[in-house]
């Protein structure tokens, strides 16, 4: 028994020293739950790894947490979507370059019986006001992510602050995009989501798109390389190769080609005016 | 998303098992002698240590994960190891969670055995250090329960491993973190079937260890 246990321990220790799929070079990409939950990175990263041999380890967090991970020096590259927080990050000197690689848009989704009567519109701010007026349940990410700050900007434009006023119908779940959609689906609530996660989400229940095509709902994704003067441990070389690939015609083509049920989730946008 | 490729699947199951077994082995190596020693040696602060070990039985995984995350972060004290977002960090987290569980169970069994056989062992000329091994031998049936309880904790845990491992596809994605991810993609049926499989694997590993221990016992023909 004792001998067996020792052998078992040794065998498993050896196994742990050889984790699967360690390539010659690997970078840690801190990213958002929307690009992970939508399946985009799982689709395009293997294409990149096949041509360059560089592995990309994707850690999916909200944008706020991803930026903090990079601030601590625990990521080599960032793919995020919160313009204001990114500007702050660059101002602090953590970033070297910030380039837009893709865009899609946020949409307001809600229950098909539509208690706030906002369905079919394209004015997201008016829709939030209507939701607040009838006190229809609204799920907020509440996790300092890009989608969460976009939602807070819209509430501000509406002149409301249900989170601070602790309204009962405003449900702050503190979770990722998929978690918020699961919650909204379960409690027949409205929520703001990026279109990519929505299209690939498979538990919509009674949820339908309520408001879309509002210019205020544009959602841009940026790739940020880190400043080696602050983050000496960062693998700047291979990180730059991946960043440049995303901008390149090949990378842009891969992003644009990713579809779910025939619909494009992310529009390539490198070099587009801001 | 939702399509779980076969290669991914074997990576995920293999990683869950190897991390769980490695963490359990490390936890056992620490907690078996520790648990027995706590019963055999009397020293100042022993009672406090016993209370702590038992309290840590219910250590919140997310807190353990956060503490290990901060320690292993590049800006943390152990950042030079470069273990964050690797399987090594997950083993550390799981071993930390499993150790107090095993130690507390071993201590309880050792205490009983020591009360019964302690004087006999010492009068037979064993030193206290030698007595640790003899006590562990006497309670070997309880060791099995202790180790399996610890292993159960490691393989079923998600809060700590998702924090320190990052749920990286092909590197640190385990069965529990995959279930969390599938759930967030709204793939509830897939998540649930993976959950059923996880339970199945847990049961098979426990059953295998029980069977091996049973045959070892009958072959050894020892008194229990």
Region A246-250: mean pLDDT is: 95
State the CB neighbour count (10 A cutoff) for residue A188. Answer: 16
Note the pLDDT tens digit of each residue in B129-181.
889 999 999 999 899 999 999 999 999 999 999 999 999 988 999 999 999 98
Give the residue among B126, B130, B131, B103 at the shortest CA–CA distance from B46: B103
Q: Which residues of A touch B171 (CB under 8 A)?
A: 19-22, 55, 57
* A22-104+220-268 shares its CATH topology with A105-217: yes
HEC secondary structure over A204-238: CCCEEEEECCCHHHEEEEEEEEECCCCCCCCCHHH
Q: Report how far residue B19's alpha carbon sits from residue A16's, in angstroms, rounded to the nearest whole number.
A: 7
pLDDT of residue B175: 95
Q: Between chains, do A179 and B184 touch, taking CB under 8 Å as contact? A: yes
Read off the tokens for A231: 């983050």
Answer yes or no: is the ipTM higher than 0.85.
Answer: no
Q: Between chains, do A37 and B88 touch, taking CB under 8 Å as contact? A: no
Pairing of strands A54-61, A95-111: unpaired
Q: Report how far residue B53's alpha carbon sits from residue B30's, in angstroms, rounded to the nearest whole number.
A: 12
Q: Report how far residue A59's alpha carbon sits from residue B85's, in angstroms, rounded to the nearest whole number.
A: 8
pLDDT band at B220 (very low <50, low <70, confident <90, very high): very low
Q: Please classify residue B207 by burial: count the beta carbons closer than 10 Å to its beta carbon, then call 0-12 exposed, 13-18 middle and 19+ buried.
A: exposed
pLDDT of residue A4: 45
Note the pLDDT tens digit of each residue in A125-137.
999 999 999 999 9
Q: Please tell me if residue A215 touches chain B, with a CB cutoff of 8 Å.
A: no
Note the pLDDT tens digit of each residue in A89-128.
999 999 999 999 999 999 999 999 999 999 999 999 999 9
The distance of B137 to chain A (nearest Cα, Å) reads 9
Q: Which residues of B touch A179 (CB under 8 A)?
A: 183-184
pLDDT of residue A43: 93
pLDDT band at A10 (very low <50, low <70, confident <90, very high): very low
Q: Between chains, do A9 and B85 touch, taking CB under 8 Å as contact? A: no
State the CB neighbour count (10 A cutoff) for residue A144. Answer: 18
CATH of A105-217, one of 3.30.1490.20, 3.30.530.20, 3.40.190.10, 3.30.750.24: 3.40.190.10
Q: Mean pLDDT, chain B, as a whole number? A: 90
Q: Report how far residue A198's alpha carbon sits from residue A244's, in angstroms, rounded to the nearest whole number.
A: 28
Of all residues in chain B, the percent with pLDDT exceeding 70 is 94
| Paired residues of A110 in beta bridges | A208
In this structure, what DSSP letter does residue B80 have? Answer: G
Read off the tokens for A27: 């970078």
Query: Is A18 a residue whose pLDDT tops 50?
Result: no
Give the residue among B132, B145, B48, B137 at the shortest CA–CA distance from B105: B145
CATH domain A22-104+220-268 topology:
D-Maltodextrin-Binding Protein; domain 2 (3.40.190)
pLDDT band at B108 (very low <50, low <70, confident <90, very high): very high
Q: pTM to 2 decimals?
A: 0.83
Please give the interface size between A and B, counted as residue pairs whose CB atoms are below 8 Å apart: 115
pLDDT of residue A165: 82
Q: Mean pLDDT, chain A, as a whole number? A: 89
Q: Which residues of B touch A8 (CB under 8 A)?
A: 21, 25
Domain boundaries, chain A: 22-104+220-268, 105-217
The distance of B48 to chain A (nearest Cα, Å) reads 30
Report the residue from A12, A57, A59 with minimal CB separation from B18.
A12
CA B50 to chain centre: 18
Architecture of domain B6-219: Orthogonal Bundle (1.10)
Note the pLDDT tens digit of each residue in A162-192.
988 888 999 999 989 999 999 999 999 999 9
């Amino acid at each position: 028994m004792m001998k067996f246990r020792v052998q078992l321990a040794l065998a498993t220790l050896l196994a742990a020293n050889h984790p699967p799929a360690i390539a010659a070079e690997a970078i840690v990409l801190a990213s958002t739950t929307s690009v992970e939950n939508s399946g985009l990175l799982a689709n395009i990263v293997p294409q990149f790894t096949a041509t360059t041999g560089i592995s990309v380890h994707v850690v999916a967090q909200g944008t706020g947490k991803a930026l903090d991970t990079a601030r601590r020096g625990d990521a080599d590259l960032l793919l995020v979507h919160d313009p204001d927080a990114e500007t702050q990050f660059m101002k602090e000197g953590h970033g070297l370059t910030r380039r837009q690689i893709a865009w899609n848009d946020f949409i307001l989704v809600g229950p098909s019986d539509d208690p706030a009567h906002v369905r079919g519109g394209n004015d997201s701010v008016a829709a939030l006001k209507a939701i607040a007026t009838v006190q229809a349940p609204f799920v907020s990410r509440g996790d300092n992510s890009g989608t969460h700050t976009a939602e807070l900007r819209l509430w501000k434009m509406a002149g409301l602050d249900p989170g601070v006023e602790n309204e009962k119908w405003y449900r702050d779940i503190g979770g990722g995009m998929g978690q918020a959609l699961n919650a909204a689906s379960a409690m027949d609530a409205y929520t703001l989501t990026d279109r990519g996660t929505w299209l690939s989400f498979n538990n919509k229940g009674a949820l339908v798109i309520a408001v879309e095509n509002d210019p205020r709902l544009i959602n841009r994704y940026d790739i940020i390389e880190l400043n080696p003067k602050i983050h000496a441990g960062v693998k700047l070389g291979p990180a730059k190769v991946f960043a440049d690939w995303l901008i390149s015609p090949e990378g842009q083509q891969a992003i644009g080609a990713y579809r779910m049920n025939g619909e494009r989730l992310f529009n390539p946008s490198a070099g587009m005016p801001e | 998303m939702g399509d779980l490729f076969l290669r991914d699947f074997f990576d995920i199951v293999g990683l869950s098992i190897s991390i769980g077994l490695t963490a359990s082995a490390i936890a056992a190596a620490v907690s078996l002698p520790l648990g027995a020693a706590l019963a055999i040696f009397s020293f100042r602060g022993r009672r406090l240590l016993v209370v702590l070990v038992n309290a840590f039985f219910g250590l919140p995984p997310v807190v353990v994960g956060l503490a290990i995350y901060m320690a292993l972060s590049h800006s943390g004290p152990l950042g030079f190891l470069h273990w964050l977002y690797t399987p090594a960090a997950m083993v550390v987290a799981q071993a930390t969670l499993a150790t107090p569980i095993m130690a507390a169970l071993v201590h309880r069994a050792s205490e009983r055995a020591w009360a019964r056989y302690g004087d006999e062992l010492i009068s037979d000329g064993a030193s206290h250090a030698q007595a640790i091994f003899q006590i562990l031998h006497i309670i070997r049936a309880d060791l099995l329960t202790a180790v399996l309880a610890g292993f159960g904790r490691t393989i079923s845990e998600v809060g700590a491993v998702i924090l320190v491992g990052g749920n990286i596809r092909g590197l640190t994605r385990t069965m529990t973190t995959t279930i969390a991810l599938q759930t967030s993609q709204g793939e509830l049926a897939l998540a649930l079937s993976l959950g059923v499989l996880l339970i199945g694997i847990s049961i098979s590993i426990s059953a295998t260890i029980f069977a091996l221990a049973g045959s070892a016992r009958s072959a050894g023909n020892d008194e229990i």
